[in-house]
A and B are shown apart, each in its own frame.
Chain A
């Protein structure tokens, strides 16, 4: 079974530009999550999809961040316009709906805003 995949693995952009990150969850996982880790800090929750619906977006930092999950499969996270403080590693995770709460993480996308 393939794990969670994320693309790109690394992105370097200038302040003010737009970047789109992609996540493909484990097949059959209806729950999809985005997290972010900025340097020196803990991994922080951004939002949670159940299929194509946003279940919880309480962690989204501001309206420069837009997450979508059209069709309930892969998800994208767009940052527009990017700011220096957006630099960090963005992780995607997925899980089953049901009895367990374990989330399975992808390798992350390292975003550097210069």
Chain B
């Protein structure tokens, strides 16, 4: 049973605009959330994370928002650049271990 869901398999955004990637989870015991970016034939690359005690974390063009009551998080990329085109994975960690639970990913295409 999948506990982390990314319901949009793909997203296309124009360069310079905002990209919003969404993620929902079902397990209320998750205490840490991460976003990874993946290019073809490479491993996932860590992008940004957020603890469950916070509702926002920002790092340059990337901001992650967490809504615990809705069990929802989102990644905002502003402004989007063509180099941001990749598959983005949402991941969550339970409070009893280090294993990450991943969503299926959202493929982002940023067009010039």
Q: A: which residues have CB within 8 A of B? A: 4, 31, 33, 35, 41-45, 48, 55-56, 58-59, 91, 93, 95, 100-108
- B85 in contact (CB, < 8 A): no
Given contacts A35-B100, A101-B49, A105-B45, 5 further A-B contacts (CB under 8 A): A35-B102, A93-B43, A104-B46, A105-B46, A106-B43
- B4 in contact (CB, < 8 A): yes
- Cβ contact of B103, chosen from A4, A42, A48, cutoff 8 A: A42
Assess the A45–B43 pair: CB atoms within 8 A: no
Assess the B98–A56 pair: CB atoms within 8 A: yes
A59 CB, min distance to chain B CBs, angstroms: 7
User: What B residues does A58 contact at CB under 8 A?
Assistant: 99
Fill in one digit per residue for B25-38: 1 if any A CB lies within 8 Å of its CB, else 0. 00000001010100
Counting contact residues on chain B (CB < 8 A from A), the size range is 20 to 34
Assess the B97–A105 pair: CB atoms within 8 A: no
Assess the A48–B45 pair: CB atoms within 8 A: no
User: What A residues does B93 contact at CB under 8 A?
Assistant: 101
Q: A42-B104, A101-B49 are in contact. Are A33 and B98 (CB under 8 A)?
A: yes
